[in-house]
Structure 1
Amino acid sequence: MVAHPGHGLMAAVDVLVVGAGPTGLALALQAHDHGARVRIVERRPEAFRPSRALILHPRTLEVLRPLGVTDALLAKADTAPSAVLHLGRRAVRAGLADLALPDTAFPHLSLLRQMDVETVLARALADRGVPVERGTELVTVRDDGPSARAVLRTPKGVQEIRCPFVGGCDGPASVVRTCAGVGWDGRPYPEEVVLADLELDRDPEGSGAEVFPGRRGLLLLFPLGEQATWRLLATRASPGGSGPEFGQPGPAVPQAELQRLLSDAGLDARIERLAWSARVPLQYRLARRFRQGRLFLAGDAAHNYSPATGQGMNAGIQDAMNLGWKLAFAAGRSAGSTSGWDAAALLDSYDRERRPVACRRLVLTHTAFWAEASTGRIPSWLRAVAAAHAAPAVPVLLARRRLVAEGIRLISQLRVTYQRGPLSVEGTPHLRGAPRPGDRLPDATVSTGGPPQRLHALLARPGVHLLLQRDAEPAPPALLGPRVTVLRLTNSPGRGVVAVRPDGHVGFRCASADTAAGLGDWLSLICATAETQV
């Protein structure tokens, strides 16, 4: 319950989400749509602008699709972007749409500003009656055993809230992580990023980005500025000294310095108007654990990357999609809804699944940022000399669509698997030819008695989905709660069953659905059966 001075008791809350960036908004939405009563608070009175993130990956769009927000996101996105690589005197155009990704409905990178993502997610929450409470700051929080206790400073005064779970989505300087006593390993980068919105005496060459690798770093131009036509992103050696929080825009960069960055990159363009600029110090960090009792960390509160490969916003949203349904299922609607059920395996699975993924992302982004930004002799030579000499071969490599597609699979987390997690269960007898427990469910073409359809479209709703092969026995009604739906695939011969988690990963498979023991045990593990379903 929530106590508010002078206003009595407010409605009970299952999940308090701290932070209303993309991660917090996605977590609140996922938890709400799986039955939790959610409250989301943000210390800033207004949404943070300008945007820092500019790219949505295919997997991020997939996991958001069941929440009904994908169409609104795509309406604001450039889904057929290209990038012009300026390698020495040669300009090479690379298409980032219609990639060789047949098992997803989103075979492209999407250029989309963080502000647009936040607008769509916040509107979806408001439509569900969950407003973002801006100007409300978390002062302290702790796990009290039976519940979490948080103290909030609101525009109406100090307030105490007790609830089952708290989701810390409050960025690199996370109050939730600090109060939980969770270590924060890593270090600052000796390089920084420069951001600016500006007008140049040149027009955009179509959609997408222009990339200029140089000896001193990398410069990118996107026609996605919020206060001007162009957004500039450049890496350079950090001048040092005190500055803002890591990852947060700090002091403005003089126009003369920005013009020098353009000139050093070999770009013959003059800045006509500078609307906004900032230098952004960077770090790479990883929380030692993502869960401490009833307190959970997600997004930049759990891991902090360089901007290389565009992981920040995407990784945070995918954290939220993994965590939100678990908190909702574990919270329950009443004291008796989870009677006799131990949620430990379900809640522990978040750290056991997402932290190894974050470790691998850290290696990927650190390596990519070294190549993009380091001023050491080898990376400087690679950008300034080797890249120019290799320019004639780049179109040949880009023409190999499967090679490019594999790169996108890697950076967008389409290859992520939770096979070693506690929620990934192989039934007996084994079901061959189906995705393994823990793997992402591919977006195959299936039949359910009518014309062929894409599988992800059929599953685009919250909850757990049971996929029965053509000759499988019906699932016993006693196993089916309000969050479980059943789909029979008439084009898939056999008697097996595949259970798909709310985040689109396979949780259970078995070659026979005739006996309900294995399936029932798995559904009970995640609290999704009729007797335990929230």
Structure 2
Amino acid sequence: MTEAVDVLVVGAGPTGLTLALQAHEHGAHVRIVERRPEAFRPSRALILHPRTLEVLRPLGVTDALLGFADTAPTARLHLGPHVVRAGPADLALPDTAFPHLSLIRQMDVERVLAAALADRGVEVERGTELVALRDGGRGADAVLRSGTGTEVIRCPFVAGCDGPDSTVRAGAGIGWHGRPYAVEAVLADIDLGREGFGHDGAEAFAGRQGLLLLFPLGERAPWRLLATRASDGAHGAAFGQAGPAVPRAELQRLLSDAGLDARIERLAWSARVPLQYRMARRFRRGRLFLAGDAAHTYSPATGQGMNAGIQDAVNLGWKLGFAAGPSAGAPAGELGTEVLLDSYDRERRPVACRRLFLTHAAFWAEASTGRVPSWLRAVAAPRGAPAVPVLLDHRRLVAEGIRVISQLRVHYRNSPLSVEGTPHLRGAPRPGDRLPDATVSAGGTPQRLHALLARPGVHLLLQRDADPLPDASHGPYVDVLRLMNSPGRGLMAVRPDGHVGYASGAPDAAGLNGWLALIGAAATSACRP
């Protein structure tokens, strides 16, 4: 048995890679294992939301991600005989550096995150499977099997990012509740040979039998097809995973039923994907944690899967880093550490429950074969098609929809890590709220606030007239910034995931130091890498 790691991350999808990177950047010694021997797998997710890019920015990966992404996607929505065109718009999202949706293959996201880990000396151990797990109270014992044999390790924390059939969740004995959908997804990479089919954006067809989407993001052919249809449940594939191939004739029938006069010239790859909606009863038990699809799984509606997992990982990663890394001595004893670790479930599970309702309702409208949703798509939607461009022209309405879908509205005001000092800091986000982006002056040329905070750690924002903080009041993972365009004597502490953790309208060294100690960022002898 060896004990040479703080956090064992199981699963190297976007969630696991992000969690490993976030924990490493906040002081933890990380090991990440993945049972798949090869890095490539057909992408299931194809979109990154604004909030996801925000939380990834301090990890230094957003430029590389945007290099793979289409940040001005266009689409044509086919509603019966009507075609509604939607193009890039100046969205009314002034408080984010990413006021757009980004089309990007999941495989490209994984490639960027894995490269960032490798640059930091952390390699994904592919072909290594977690076969047994036990929470030993003060640590977890994990049995790993690879081509070189079996290994037993002990570590303070294990993070299960290993999908719907999570071995970590099973080992933790955490319930997994929900049910299958009566509708399955069909994925395929295809070449289309219709003359004049030159539109380079997405195509969406809403019909009585469900939804059909075509994206110019195929990995083995120019077009990625995603469709929904009634499931017979006979093929036995794992939920959320690519199952048996779909015959070319069936795919051609899906195109024809949608009203698309196009012929499949080449079928490069296809799969049936059974779908379900489920939620873990809890996201933590002792030293074992769940994130992403291991904690919650949804329909594809509104593109939540990859984004939700990454945002879980960013929330959990810094907490595990502070609890197990060089600053581990800082929390206020065992009680403080437990408050810090328990906050993950208390913050992220309510968000996941709300998102489950959102995706379930959206998927019912998009894909259900029931009488009402079928009538809505086949009859009501074409009749209402002339009103769609008018709705799309309402920038604030569209922006509000994106805020909800991308979790820009998420807050943790009820978290034990959200602490308000005395007096109340007026005119500022409340503890637990996401910190919005804005133009600020920190001495010199005005800059955007999120750009100034685009590095790991906790950021203390002092108002213009606030007293200086003594150096001993904060540790190596804390930066201090004075905002010269913000009059007042207050201060605000921003967590590594971009949420306000502490705020006070006047200097309160004891309150601030108590909060920093609670999260594990108080002064220590550790040196920041």
User: Is TM-score (shorter-chain normalized) higher than 0.5?
Assistant: yes
The answer to whether residue 234 in structure 2 is matched with residue 231 in structure 1 is no
The aligned amino acid for 2:207 is G
**1:390 and 1:297 mapped to 2: Cα distance?**
42
Change (3 A) 1:461 1:91: same
SS in 2 for 1:343: helix
Matches within 5 A, 1:41-190: 41-190=33-182
The equivalent of 1:520 in structure 2 is 513
Q: Is the 8 A contact 2:9 2:31 kept in 1?
A: yes
Matches within 5 A, 1:474-489: 474-489=468-483
SS in 2 for 1:333: coil
Q: Is the 8 A contact 1:339 1:532 kept in 2?
A: no
Post-superposition Cα deviations, 1:317-366, rounded to whole Å, max 9, x if no partner, equal: 00000000000100133885668453011000000000000000100000
The answer to whether residue 318 in structure 2 is matched with residue 329 in structure 1 is no
The equivalent of 1:315 in structure 2 is 308
The answer to whether residue 525 in structure 2 is matched with residue 529 in structure 1 is no
SS in 1 for 2:459: strand
Deviation at 1:62, TM superposition (A): 0.3
The aligned amino acid for 1:491 is N
SS in 2 for 1:356: helix
The answer to whether residue 344 in structure 2 is matched with residue 350 in structure 1 is yes
Deviation at 1:205, TM superposition (A): 4.5
Change (3 A) 1:338 1:501: closer
Residue of structure 2 aligned with 1:420, choices 406, 414, 421 = 414
Bigger mean CA offset, 221-230 vs 98-107: 98-107
Identity, in percent, stands at 78
The answer to whether residue 453 in structure 2 is matched with residue 463 in structure 1 is no
The equivalent of 1:6 in structure 2 is none
Post-superposition Cα deviations, 1:289-316, rounded to whole Å, max 9, x if no partner, equal: 0000000000000000000000000000
SS in 2 for 1:275: strand
Change (3 A) 1:49 1:254: same
Change (3 A) 1:334 1:430: closer
Q: Is the 8 A contact 1:448 1:488 kept in 2?
A: yes
The answer to whether residue 237 in structure 2 is matched with residue 252 in structure 1 is no
Change (3 A) 1:327 1:533: farther
**2:124 and 2:328 mapped to 1: Cα distance?**
27
Residue of structure 1 aligned with 2:448, choices 450, 454, 462 = 454
Change (3 A) 1:212 1:128: same
Q: Is the 8 A contact 2:26 2:325 kept in 1?
A: no
**2:103 and 2:526 mapped to 1: Cα distance?**
38
Length-normalised TM-score, structure 2:
0.97
Change (3 A) 1:15 1:97: farther
Change (3 A) 1:147 1:204: farther
Q: Is the 8 A contact 1:96 1:109 kept in 2?
A: no
Deviation at 1:166, TM superposition (A): 0.3
The aligned amino acid for 2:13 is G
Q: Is the 8 A contact 1:338 1:532 kept in 2?
A: no
Gaps of 5+ in 2: none
The aligned amino acid for 1:292 is R
Post-superposition Cα deviations, 1:254-308, rounded to whole Å, max 9, x if no partner, equal: 1111111001101111111101111100000000000000000000000000000
**1:405 and 1:337 mapped to 2: Cα distance?**
41
Length-normalised TM-score, structure 1:
0.96
SS in 2 for 1:512: coil
Q: Is the 8 A contact 2:330 2:523 kept in 1?
A: no
Bigger mean CA offset, 14-23 vs 524-533: 524-533
For the aligned residues, what is the CA RMSD?
A: 1.4
Post-superposition Cα deviations, 1:67-124, rounded to whole Å, max 9, x if no partner, equal: 0000000001001001211111111111255311100010000000000000000000
The aligned amino acid for 1:407 is G
SS in 2 for 1:219: strand
Matches within 5 A, 1:13-24: 13-24=5-16
**2:263 and 2:35 mapped to 1: Cα distance?**
39
Q: Is the 8 A contact 2:188 2:271 kept in 1?
A: yes
Q: Is the 8 A contact 2:492 2:503 kept in 1?
A: yes
The equivalent of 1:39 in structure 2 is 31
Q: Is the 8 A contact 1:243 1:251 kept in 2?
A: no
**2:329 and 2:17 mapped to 1: Cα distance?**
29
**2:363 and 2:333 mapped to 1: Cα distance?**
49
The equivalent of 2:499 in structure 1 is 505
**1:217 and 1:57 mapped to 2: Cα distance?**
24
Deviation at 1:531, TM superposition (A): 3.7
SS in 1 for 2:388: helix
The aligned amino acid for 1:404 is V
Deviation at 1:191, TM superposition (A): 0.3
The aligned amino acid for 2:461 is L
Post-superposition Cα deviations, 1:33-61, rounded to whole Å, max 9, x if no partner, equal: 11100000000101241110000000000
The answer to whether residue 480 in structure 2 is matched with residue 472 in structure 1 is no
- How many pairs does the alignment contain? 525
The answer to whether residue 438 in structure 2 is matched with residue 444 in structure 1 is yes
Q: Is the 8 A contact 1:111 1:208 kept in 2?
A: no
The aligned amino acid for 1:168 is G
Q: Is the 8 A contact 1:81 1:207 kept in 2?
A: no
SS in 2 for 1:467: strand
Gaps of 5+ in 1: 4-10
